[in-house]
């Protein structure tokens, strides 16, 4: 495991690059403030606060990276991090401090693997004292490896080696911390794309594609107790279990109930994998989850909104309608019908009552010709979804029936957005490359799905 408090020489050799690392000091273990160089320093992009770690160039990781408590790692636009897969212990990025991935639309930050196969590396795993994480314009793929007892996530008591299906691509757990996922592309990760057991978060304008595996499943957004979240304007395609799994599991005296608004998201072709059990297939709510869940568009997924027979959603404190449910097959209509097992039905939702009724008319989407929402094998020839195509356009045509019927009379958790002060401390050297430190959720729209 590569400790980020190491000297520049050791760090540079292990990561096979010449990134700037001013962190050359002896950590006394008692001070959580940034330590290191006494002066701020510059790259070609910006001036960073003292003690910061900065990656300016492409990096290859053959062992895990651990960012200590109180330390901030900044990754500049256009940097690609390649995780080697043929290693004894899967590579992980364990964030005990702070992480700022500062991608742009033109120059995203990319975290990938050398062989480009799911489960090649672990994921971004954040610790109990991680204060801030920014993932803006980030492409994260091929994560989900199972940890060993030598893994940084196991050593820091974040995940066990017996985890079902491997670690998530991104995990956050500090109830008092905050994170943003914005404008990012999560794809081809072996298990859950995200897993949250605490924290204040804004999840906006992302694409989650091709989540999980046929053996162990995988959600796109998996939420437990301890969170305050706004989840809006995301596309979730081909999550093999659920697009959204919403729960208050883990609630205690120190871990509060989760509050969340989930609105104007588009969910397509999710839930085909459920061979072990039939626990969801688009959105699953359990253990007194109490979301505001409105204006979402669910398209050809295995089931509609579902809950378990016992310990389900907190109906009194939730708002679960209106949402838009489309099915192109009679099987889909039946499995999202009013009498569907474990289903949650609202007359105020919009449902297909026959195959193909109410097609929302995406501008450009090619579906598997014979979609089989119950296929349980990851094979398009058997009716599974095709791999995500970046040329697809899930915005709605001008004559789409899904352009109206949504609601705007609800409050977002963070109407003024979330501020990330580690970003505020960065002095960008010109206005062209300047980045905002505030991330604000979009206003709700009366149309269904993402804007």
Q: What is the pLDDT of residues 130-155, one digit of tens each?
A: 999 999 999 999 999 999 999 999 99
In whole angstroms, what is the distance from residue 24 CA to residue 232 CA?
A: 41
- 8 pLDDT above the threshold of 60: no
In a domain? residue 39: no
> Are the beta carbons of 281 and 306 closer than 8 angstroms?
yes
CA distances from 33 to 29, 51, 333, 420 (A): 10, 9, 56, 16
Q: What is the pLDDT of residues 228-253, one digit of tens each?
A: 999 999 999 999 999 999 999 999 99
- 202 pLDDT above the threshold of 90: yes
The domain in which residue 320 lies consists of 51-439
The answer to which of 234-238, 329-333, 373-377, 401-405 has the lowest mean pLDDT is 373-377
Q: Provide φ and ψ at 336, rounded to 5°.
A: -115, 15
- Strands (DSSP E) contained in 96-184 are 98-102, 109-113, 124-126, 132-136, 138-141, 170-172, 178-182
Q: In sequence order, what are the beta bridge partners of 207?
A: 185, 235
pLDDT score recorded for residue 279: 73
Q: How many domains does the structure of the chain reveal?
A: 1
The answer to which of 40-44, 259-263, 292-296 has the lowest mean pLDDT is 40-44
Mean pLDDT of the chain: 91
> Are the beta carbons of 126 and 133 closer than 8 angstroms?
yes
For the chain, what is the total number of helices (H) and then of strands (E)? 4, 37
Q: What is the pLDDT of residues 51-106, one digit of tens each?
A: 999 999 999 999 999 999 999 999 999 999 999 999 999 999 999 999 999 999 99
In whole angstroms, what is the distance from residue 350 CA to residue 101 CA?
A: 39
CA distances from 198 to 166, 174, 228, 259, 440 (A): 20, 5, 8, 11, 20
pLDDT score recorded for residue 234: 99
In a domain? residue 42: no
Per-residue b/e over 26-58, b at no fewer than 16 CB within 10 Å?
eeeeeeeebbbbeebeeeebbebbebbbbbbee
In a domain? residue 340: yes
In a domain? residue 117: yes
Q: Is 66 helix (H, G, I), strand (E, B) or coil?
A: strand
In a domain? residue 32: no
The strand pair at 362-364 and 393-396 is best described as antiparallel
Confidence of residue 281 (pLDDT cuts 50, 70, 90): confident
In a domain? residue 38: no
**The total number of residues written for the chain in this structure:** 451
Beta-carbon contacts of 82 under 8 Å, excluding residues fewer than 6 positions away, are: 58, 59, 60, 61, 112, 113, 114
Beta-carbon contacts of 331 under 8 Å, excluding residues fewer than 6 positions away, are: 372, 373, 374
- 30 pLDDT above the threshold of 80: no
Computed from CA positions of residues 367, 372, 376, 381, in that sequence, does the dihedral angle turn out positive or negative? negative
In a domain? residue 1: no
Q: How many Å separate Cα 106 from the centre of its chain?
A: 21
In a domain? residue 291: yes
pLDDT score recorded for residue 323: 99
N-term to C-term CA, the chain: 42
């Amino acid at each position: 495991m590569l400790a980020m408090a190491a000297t520049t020489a050791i760090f540079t050799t292990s990561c096979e690059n010449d990134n700037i690392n001013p962190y050359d000091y002896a950590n006394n273990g008692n001070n959580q403030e940034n330590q290191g160089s006494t002066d701020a320093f510059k790259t070609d992009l910006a001036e960073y606060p003292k003690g910061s770690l900065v990656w300016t160039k492409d990096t290859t990781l053959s062992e895990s990276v651990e960012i200590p408590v109180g330390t901030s790692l900044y990754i500049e636009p256009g940097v690609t991090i390649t995780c080697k897969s043929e290693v004894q212990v899967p590579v992980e990025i364990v964030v005990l401090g702070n992480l700022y991935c500062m991608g742009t639309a033109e120059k995203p930050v990319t975290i990938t693997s050398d062989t480009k196969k799911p489960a090649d590396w672990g994921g971004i795993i954040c610790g109990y004292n991680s204060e801030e994480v920014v993932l803006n314009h980030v492409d994260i793929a091929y994560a989900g490896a199972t940890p060993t007892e030598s893994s940084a996530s196991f050593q820091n008591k974040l995940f066990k080696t017996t985890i079902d299906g491997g670690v998530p691509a991104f995990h956050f757990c500090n109830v008092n911390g905050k994170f943003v996922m914005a404008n990012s592309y999560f794809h081809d990760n072996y298990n859950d794309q995200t897993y949250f057991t605490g924290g204040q978060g804004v999840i906006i304008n992302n694409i989650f594609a091709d989540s999980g595996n046929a053996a162990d499943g995988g959600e796109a957004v998996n939420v437990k107790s301890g969170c305050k979240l706004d989840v809006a304007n995301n596309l979730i395609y081909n999550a093999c279990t659920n697009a959204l799994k919403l729960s208050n599991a883990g609630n205690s005296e120190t871990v509060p109930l989760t509050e969340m608004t989930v609105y104007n998201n588009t969910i397509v072709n999710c839930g085909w994998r459920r061979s072990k059990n039939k626990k969801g297939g688009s959105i699953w709510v359990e253990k007194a989850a109490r979301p505001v869940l409105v204006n979402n568009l669910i398209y050809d997924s295995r089931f509609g909104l579902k809950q378990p027979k016992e310990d389900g959603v907190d109906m009194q404190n939730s708002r679960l309608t209106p949402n838009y449910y489309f099915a192109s097959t009679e099987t889909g209509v039946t499995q999202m019908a009013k009498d569907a097992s474990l289903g949650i039905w609202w007359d105020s939702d919009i449902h297909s009552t026959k195959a193909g009724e109410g097609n929302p008319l995406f501008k450009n989407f090619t579906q598997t010709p014979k979609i089989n929402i119950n296929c349980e094998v990851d094979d398009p020839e058997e009716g599974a979804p095709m791999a995500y195509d970046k040329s697809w356009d899930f915005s709605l045509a001008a004559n789409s029936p899904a352009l109206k019927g949504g609601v705007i009379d609800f409050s977002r958790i963070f109407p003024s957005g979330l501020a990330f002060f580690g970003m505020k401390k960065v002095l960008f050297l010109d206005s062209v490359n300047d980045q905002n430190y505030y991330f604000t959720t979009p206003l709700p729209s009366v149309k269904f799905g993402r804007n």
